[in-house]
Structure 1
Amino acid sequence: MKRLRHTLTALFVALVGFSSQAQVSIGARGGVSLAKTMGNGFIENFTGELDYIVSGNGALFLQVPISGGLSFRPEIGYRQSGAGITSNNLLNLIGANLPLGGSLKQRLTYIQAPMLLQYDFGYEDSPVRPYVILGPSLNYLAAGKIVSRADLFLFQTPPTRTSIGLGSFSRFELGGAGGLGVSFDLGVAKMLIEGRYERGFTRVYDSGIVRIPVHNQSFSLLAGFSIPLGR
């Protein structure tokens, strides 16, 4: 974990050094996501339909011009993935038949390092420029927990949060991200609004014995800003 953080930090610092050769910008972005682990029907055979979970995410990024409207946009941040189950009888999941309903949510926290290409449309001095992003992402599973809440007759219990072991999970995830956005030139900084889709290509669960075909995906609405360096 420490080695990964040091590697990502060194990469980010090295990219900052390019600001002497190009008009590099540094920025931050954050937002809300709808995330869900997709099992191609495998897990749903045991749990029923899985729900999306609402989660937050955020990142720091650099934007390094390459040519014309094309730029390289590496990021370092975090996001949450997982899935939820809502039922009128949660105990059916373990073979009991008691009137206990509620919800279970699995939340997996990843440190992520997307390596994106961004293409801005329009003239360089335009105050408003739409753009597209696309690229791979290397993610590291840092923590996991189960959030449960029960419906007991006329009231709902407070959420209970339980950490889960990560021995049966794939700690590293290779994924991809793509999206559309628009930037607004505010003079000393730029503001951005962005919609993004992310998909994991590697399995979420992989114990070495049981390899379950489950992958992460999320839809995010993001907002942020960037400031040019080296002026």
Structure 2
Amino acid sequence: MKTVRISLAIVLMAVVSIAANAQVSIGVRGGASLSKTTGTGGFIENFTGNLNYIVSGNGGVFLQIPIAGGLSFRPELAYKQSGAGISSDNLLNLIGVNIPLGGSIKQRLTYIQAPLLFQYDFGYEDSPVKPYVILGPSFNYLADGKIVSRADLILFRTQPTRTSIGLGMFNRFEVGGVGGAGLSFEVGNAKLFVEGRYERGFTRVYDTPVVQVPVYNQSFSVLAGFSIPLGR
């Protein structure tokens, strides 16, 4: 943690120095994610069976600070959900008639994120449409965890039941990586964009003292947003 704090302090000082001499933009973004907590080599699936991706929303705010040419620094403050789901379609044979009984259980983990991304825009400086790529680390904090369950009965589905779970068995801090690509459009002084990104956690999800369980977060997101330059 000491190394992480020192690295963040160095990055912060560099950001302040660059921002003092650059046209900084501020923006918001949001979208939907497909997320799954999964083990290396299918580790966790050996015990739970096939896991499903969960669909969740995510959003955040960011600064975009030009560095040189098409390269800019893009720190963000955001939230996202990760986790996984299990569904079943068990059949109960009742007096010779198959009656479907099943349901789903989802683990939803809510993280506060601080991605420190670098963005590179392609094309000419005055081009109104630019493709770009992003890449960088993300430092995340696990803020909440819930189990969401619902049952599929014969003729209807029950309302989902949400149960908070203790976070003592989880790593509260996660270090991950982010990569993606997008397309930006200039509209007056503002900039609109659409973006796809992949995120992968490098820190194990569970903090188990005896056996180090190789389970990590990953997600695919489709995002949209806009940014405007800060006045000088």
Specify the alignment match of 2:29 in structure 1.
29
Amino acid at match of 2:32: V
Amino acid at match of 2:110: T
Residues in 1 aligned to 2:196 and 2:128: alpha-carbon distance in whole angstroms = 20
Q: Secondary structure at the match of 1:46?
A: helix
Residues in 1 aligned to 2:22 and 2:48: alpha-carbon distance in whole angstroms = 52
Residues in 2 aligned to 1:61 and 1:190: alpha-carbon distance in whole angstroms = 13
Q: Secondary structure at the match of 1:45?
A: helix
- Contact kept, 8 Å, 1:36 with 1:52, in 2: the verdict is yes
The answer to whether the aligner puts 1:213 opposite 2:207 as a matched pair is no
TM-score, structure 1 length as denominator?
Answer: 0.87
Task: Report the CA distance between 1:15 and its aligned residue.
Answer: 5.0
- Contact kept, 8 Å, 1:20 with 1:230, in 2: the verdict is no
Residues in 1 aligned to 2:207 and 2:90: alpha-carbon distance in whole angstroms = 29
Report Cα offsets for 1:100-130 as digits up to 9, x if no partner.
Answer: 4100000000000000000000111110010
41-50 or 105-114, larger mean C-alpha shift:
41-50
Specify the alignment match of 1:187 in structure 2.
188
Amino acid at match of 1:149: R
Residues in 2 aligned to 1:16 and 1:80: alpha-carbon distance in whole angstroms = 30
Q: Secondary structure at the match of 1:149?
A: strand
- Contact kept, 8 Å, 1:18 with 1:24, in 2: the verdict is no
Q: CA RMSD in A?
A: 2.3
Amino acid at match of 2:122: F
Specify the alignment match of 2:127 in structure 1.
126
Residues in 2 aligned to 1:197 and 1:147: alpha-carbon distance in whole angstroms = 24
Specify the alignment match of 1:173 in structure 2.
174
Amino acid at match of 2:23: Q
Counterparts in 2 of 1:33-44, with a 5 A limit? 33-39=33-39, 40-44=41-45
Counterparts in 2 of 1:49-88, with a 5 A limit? 49-88=50-89
- Contact kept, 8 Å, 1:19 with 1:229, in 2: the verdict is no
TM-score, structure 2 length as denominator?
Answer: 0.87
Task: Report the CA distance between 1:207 and its aligned residue.
Answer: 2.5
Specify the alignment match of 1:227 in structure 2.
228
Residues in 2 aligned to 1:101 and 1:17: alpha-carbon distance in whole angstroms = 57
Residues in 2 aligned to 1:89 and 1:115: alpha-carbon distance in whole angstroms = 45
Q: Secondary structure at the match of 1:155?
A: coil
Report Cα offsets for 1:57-77 as digits up to 9, x if no partner.
Answer: 011100111100001000001
Specify the alignment match of 1:93 in structure 2.
none
Amino acid at match of 1:168: M
Residues in 1 aligned to 2:72 and 2:169: alpha-carbon distance in whole angstroms = 38
Residues in 1 aligned to 2:30 and 2:17: alpha-carbon distance in whole angstroms = 24
Amino acid at match of 1:111: I
The answer to whether the aligner puts 1:159 opposite 2:160 as a matched pair is yes
106-115 or 150-159, larger mean C-alpha shift:
150-159
Amino acid at match of 1:78: Y
